[in-house]
Amino acid sequence: MDLQIATVVYCLLVAALFLGLWRYYDRRDHARFEQERRHAAFHCVRCGHTYAVQGDHETAACPRCAHENARLKF
């Protein structure tokens, strides 16, 4: 194989590798950011306390009375 063609193929492989790494880390960081940003709101049916929990939860315990409440839906 010609040296020039081999160099071009090598450069394309390196570029593809870095593009793949960039995509992987970008998606991972975006997923992590979304996870931190997302909050679920809850209203305690026992004591009336309104609170938020980080992450995507369907139920969470009240910080005041520890009663398990369902997530508020808007």
Binding site for Zn ion (CB under 5 A): 44, 46-47, 49, 62, 64-65, 67
Nearest distance, CB of residue 72 and Zn ion, angstroms:
14
Q: What share of the chain is helix, strand, coil (3-state, %, to 5)?
A: 45, 25, 30
Query: Both tokens of residue 11?
Result: 């450069």
Q: Decide if 60 contacts 40 (C-beta within 8 A).
A: yes
Measured from the CB atom, is 9 or 66 closer to Zn ion?
Answer: 66
Identify which of residues 48 and 55 has a Cβ nearer to Zn ion in the complex. 48
The residue (of 44 and 60) whose beta carbon lies closer to Zn ion is 44
Q: How far is the CB of 29 from Zn ion (least distance, A)?
A: 35
CA distance 12 to 17: 9
